[in-house]
Amino acid sequence: MATRMLRRGLPRVAGGDPWPPAGDAPVADAADVPAEAPSAGEGFDSLTVAQPVPESVEGSSAQPAAAPLNDPQAQPAGDVTLRRGLPRTPGGGPWPPAGAAATVDPSTGSGIDSVPEESPARVAPRVERAEIASAPAASGESLRRGLPRTPGGEPWPPEGTAATVAVKTVDPSTGSGIDSKGSGIDSDLIEASDIPASTAVSTVDVSTPLPFQQTVFPGATAFERPAPKPEPERVGPFTRAQWAGAVIVGGAALLGAAAMAVLLVRWLLSFGALQDFVATFPGEYHLPEGAPVGFPGWLGWQHFLNVFLMVLIIRSGLRIRNEKRPTAFWTPKNNPKGKVSLTIWFHQALDILWLVNGIVFVILLFVSGQWMRVIPTSWEVIPNAISAALQYVSLDWPTENGWVNYNSLQQLAYGTTIFIAAPLAAVTGFRMSGMWPKNAEKLSKAYPIEWARAVHFPVMLYFVVFIAIHVFLVFATGALRNLNHMYAAQGSTDPNAYADNWTGFWFFVASLVVIAAAWVAARPLVLAPIAKLFGNVSSR
């Protein structure tokens, strides 16, 4: 009968030795064991496999009973040299020590400690193991096929085999086999229920962690994370670097477009037809009889106040547009429900002052006759405005003296700003303010607030563009002379009379200092005491 040694696998209990123990009894080859199907209702896991005993051992001493196949605590009787494995403690020797032998008490199924050999009368019949026989599956359930047993072989077990377990009992007194009657399988097989209950499988608490010591530890930098880079500070929708890049790229694009426009207009003015057009319409026409000459002193003050208020209005308007969480609020004394942010109150207060200054300015314009300088009085203003625009673009400035008369392009620009853009800004701002009557449903329906919002911001952009072009032309067409006209009320019919006078320039510098101081002071710390004179100021 051919035999083979059992292959040892994982332990059956936590912290136990590999199963089966080293030196376990050899298993008979499948060819030497009759393959028969188990009785109905018996599962493979509940049966115990018997190990064949040679017939020549009849009359030998009794052997203790073996434990069931699925009992993790069962060990064969006798001393067996154990296989040595990994150490149980760090730095220790292989476990178990060299020369250790395993002796098992058949009655208790305990571990390695040796016990005295028991008498034949107390020894239960020994149940030996046998391999699963490979037989065609007549009525039993076919086995699940797994990996091959040999390299390049077929899956094991062969296709069509069924699970049959052969068991044989050995009489402890005689050593001969005792046939199991009535089993329906064979006289050498016994029922699994005949095995003592003391050999039942012990359950293992899977919630208990394995008793292994930690051998891998995190390194020194395992929990270190690089600090995230702070987000760059944004000014509006872009960072400072992005704004700088936009200014550089945009400025280069504008310079390129301006250079192309200058070259194009100069090329057009080289034609005789356009030269005759510029000669016929030099850029200005004569004012009506009785038109005033020069600027009165009140006009200079009105001009300064207009610039002062417009700069602060634009600043506060942009802040309202970008403000997310106001730091202070203003509530009128007679209307507790009319609470607005302090920035909105400041913007509306500036609007009122600007409207008052504008009304006074318009009244003085018509009283003094200065309106003829800013309102066209002849249709010649259109061709002269075109001629002036061509001369400006070609960098061949038109001959003009603002002390006596504006050119037609200036007249149209000033008239549009005073009598169209300013009223639009006032009307749309009033519609969006808290002064608009809340109960005027028909009026609100006829003039929706969405229209006011759609117009108010573009009007502000128009003022910004107008101021930028106006300041550029003031300095490009004779800075000292023009500043004397506007700030010092000094001038002459001779364009070169005050071309080297610095009085107006220093007035202009002083006005810039006042405007810059107001720009810096326009913050809640300074505005709150002023706002308290007209209402209540709070942080919520």
Of the two residues 190 and 256, the one the predictor is more confident about is 256
Q: Quick one: pLDDT at residue 226?
A: 83
Q: Quick one: pLDDT at residue 183?
A: 41
Quick: pLDDT tens for 9-26. 888 888 888 888 876 555
Band (385; pLDDT cuts 50, 70, 90)? very high
- Does residue 129 have a pLDDT over 90? no
Structure tokens at 3: 């035999």
Q: Tell me the three state secondary structure of residue 121.
A: helix
Percent of the chain, pLDDT > 90? 30
- Does residue 188 have a pLDDT over 60? no
Structure tokens at 537: 């100021």
Among 463, 458, 367, smallest CA distance to 413 is for: 463
Cβ neighbours of residue 9 closer than 8 Å, sequence gap 6 or more: 18, 19
Whether the CB-CB separation of 485 and 295 falls below 8 Å is answered with yes
Average pLDDT over residues 268-290: 90
Which phi and psi angles does 178 have, rounded to 5°? Answer: -110, 125
Of the two residues 103 and 408, the one the predictor is more confident about is 408
Instruction: Name the segment(s) of the chain with CATH classification 1.20.950.20.
Output: 291-386+396-538
Q: Tell me the three state secondary structure of residue 401.
A: strand
Q: Quick one: pLDDT at residue 194?
A: 53
- Does residue 67 have a pLDDT over 80? no
Q: How far apart are the first and last CA of the chain?
A: 99
Give residue 388's identity as a one-letter amino acid code.
A
Q: Quick one: pLDDT at residue 115?
A: 40
Q: Quick one: pLDDT at residue 38?
A: 42
According to CATH, the superfamily of the domain at 291-386+396-538 is Transmembrane di-heme cytochromes, Chain C (1.20.950.20)
Percent of the chain, pLDDT > 70? 72
Q: Quick one: pLDDT at residue 269?
A: 92
- Does residue 436 have a pLDDT over 90? no
Which phi and psi angles does 291 have, rounded to 5°? Answer: -70, 135
Kindly report each contact of residues 452-457 with a partner whose C-beta sits within 8 Å and lies 24 or more positions away, as own/partner. 452/427, 452/428, 453/428, 455/424, 455/428, 456/425, 456/428, 456/429, 456/432, 457/321
Q: Quick one: pLDDT at residue 66?
A: 41
- Does residue 357 have a pLDDT over 90? yes
Q: Quick one: pLDDT at residue 322?
A: 82
Of the two residues 524 and 38, the one the predictor is more confident about is 524
C-alpha distances out from residue 154 to 29, 140, 143, 147, 260, Å: 18, 22, 14, 8, 86
Structure tokens at 527: 């505005």
Quick: pLDDT tens for 440-490. 888 888 999 999 999 999 998 999 999 999 999 899 888 898 899 889 888
Is the whole-model pTM more than 0.75?
Answer: no
Cβ neighbours of residue 285 closer than 8 Å, sequence gap 6 or more: 378, 380, 381, 384, 408
Task: Provide the mean pLDDT of the chain.
Answer: 77
Q: Quick one: pLDDT at residue 110?
A: 43
- Cβ-based neighbour number of residue 93 at 10 Å: 11
- Does residue 164 have a pLDDT over 60? no
- DSSP state string for 422-483: HHHHHHHHHHHSTTS-TT-HHHHHHS-HHHHHHHHHHHHHHHHHHHHHHHHHHHHTTHHHHH
CA 252/CA 300 separation, integer angstroms = 36
